[in-house]
Amino acid sequence: MKTIRPVFIGIFFILLFLIRIQPAFAQVKINELMPNPEGEDKDLEWLELFNQENVPFDVNNFILKDADSHQLTIDLSRVESSTIIPVSGWLIIKRSGHSTFSLNNDFDTISLFAPETSEPMDIFSYTGSTEGLSRGRLPNGGGINEDNLDPTPGFSNQSIPSPSPEVSPSPNPSSSPNSNQTIASPSPSPLASPTPSPQPSKIARIKDIVLLAPETPEPILGTQSGQPFDSAQGKPDWQLAIMLLITGAGLLLLTAIIIVKLWRKK
Ligand SMILES: [Ca+2]
Ligand SMILES: [Ca+2]
């Protein structure tokens, strides 16, 4: 029993060391980098670290290595004011004229090492670059994004905003037909009502009756042969009737006188 107790105590301290150290190492990421800045690369290249731990993390004397194993030691000369990364925060490491360590524009692999360690805490590899745009992880601390990013040194990473679609000019409302208005269709022309065929007017036809004055070739009363006489005219009809009566009566009287004279001669 006396030999077992020191073994448990040893295991306890080993576990305590791993719990205290390992999570901190795993929670700092190379989050974003600017390999091709607008201007002098030697002075303006920068690299962003992101702390996913729930306690502040100091990266003083940590080492960055590029693909050519050129080293850059992180100290106060490479940061703005402090080497401590706040909780869920970012820290910008500046090249600031370092002569050997660089972020290549064509491709590179950057590794982060804790002091006096041989295993990198994090590795970030990329291929290609665009001037003025960064490479990084999306979301923060996540997978390496294959496309360029909108540079966000010291802030949360974000994609390049997609261009807004062009607004097509609105058509001139005065020239476009209003969809709410129905186009006035030409009103159907009323069907031409069939023109009633002229009813045969009641035309009075009379025989050619001519009353001649003695030795006057022109008739004093009568109608032209075959000329229709419209009874609807009224007045001529009455006059004609009267004249016919008078003429008839005159003929009867004349006939009667002739008969009487002939009968007396017998
Ligand atoms: Ca560069
Ligand atoms: Ca960022």
- Identify the pLDDT of residue 62: 98
Strongest mean pLDDT among 83-97, 150-164, 252-266: 83-97
Ligand having the closest approach to the CA of 141: 2
**pLDDT by residue (tens digit) across 168-186?**
665 554 444 444 443 344 4
Rounded to the nearest angstrom, the distance between the alpha carbon of 154 and the centre of ligand 2 is 5
Tokens, residue 124: 């970030």
CA 145 to chain centroid, in Å, comes to 32
User: Which ligand has the nearest atom to the CA of 129?
Assistant: 1
CA–chain centroid gap for 152, Å, is 33
Measure 115 CA to ligand 2 centroid, in angstroms. 24
Least confident of 72-86, 144-158, 181-195, 250-264: 181-195
Omega prior to 139 cis, within 30 of 0: yes
Residue range 182-231, pLDDT digits in tens: 334 444 444 444 444 444 444 444 444 444 445 544 544 444 444 444 44
Expressed in angstroms and rounded, the spacing between residue 60 Cα and the centre of ligand 1 is: 24
Distance 131 CA to ligand 1 centre (A): 9
**Side chain identity at 160, as an amino acid letter?**
I
164 CA to centre of ligand 2 in angstroms? 23
DSSP string, 129-151: --TT-BEEEETTTTEEPSS-B--
Whole-number Å distance, alpha carbon 107 to ligand 2 midpoint, is: 20
pLDDT at position 215 is 53
Distance from the alpha carbon of residue 240 to the mean position of ligand 1, in angstroms = 131
pLDDT at 72 over 70: yes
**Cα 119 to ligand 2 centre (Å):** 25
Report the C-alpha gap between 169 and 175 in whole angstroms: 14
Using alpha carbons, list the distances in angstroms from residue 102 to 75, 138, 255: 17, 23, 156
In this prediction, residue 169 carries a pLDDT of: 60
Which carries the bigger pLDDT value, residue 91 or residue 263? Answer: 91
The 10s digit of each residue's pLDDT in 113-144 is 999 999 999 999 999 999 999 999 999 999 99
Q: To the nearest 10°, report the CA torsion of 78, 81, 86, 88.
A: -60
Which DSSP symbol is given to 155?
A: S
Average pLDDT, stretch 94-122? 97
- What is the distance in A from the centroid of ligand 2 to the CA of 214? 140
Predicted local confidence at residue 2, as pLDDT:
52
Separation of CA 32 and ligand 2 centre (Å) = 6
- Residue 93 in contact with residue 46, Cβ under 8 Å? yes
Average confidence score pLDDT of the chain: 76
Q: Comparing C-alpha atoms, which of 43, 45, 99, 44 is closest to residue 71? A: 99
Residue 44 Cα to ligand 1 midpoint, Å, equals 9
Mean pLDDT, residues 84-97: 97
What is the model's pLDDT at position 15?
46
Interval between CA 136 and ligand 1 midpoint (Å): 15
First to last CA, the chain: 200
CATH architecture of 4-144: Sandwich (2.60)
Residue spans of the domains in the chain: they are: 4-144, 203-265
How far apart are alpha carbons 131 and 105 in whole angstroms?
9
- 79 is written with which tokens? 């940061």
- Which residues lie at CB < 5 A from ion ligand 2? 32, 48, 152, 157
Helical ranges in the chain per DSSP H: 4-26, 41-44, 235-265
Ligand number with the minimum distance to the CA of 31: 2
Which has more pLDDT, 240 or 200? Answer: 240
- Kindly tell me the sign of the dihedral angle through the C-alpha atoms of 245, 246, 247, 249: positive
Find the mean pLDDT for residues 46-60.
Answer: 96
- The pTM (predicted TM-score) of the whole model is 0.55
Which value, to the nearest 10 degrees, does the dihedral of the CA atoms of residues 165, 171, 172, 177 take? -150
Confidence of residue 262 (pLDDT cuts 50, 70, 90): confident
| 131 alpha carbon, closest ligand | 1
The larger pLDDT score, comparing residue 255 to residue 6, is at 255
Instruction: State the distance from the centre of ligand 2 to the C-alpha of 147, rounded, in angstroms.
Output: 14
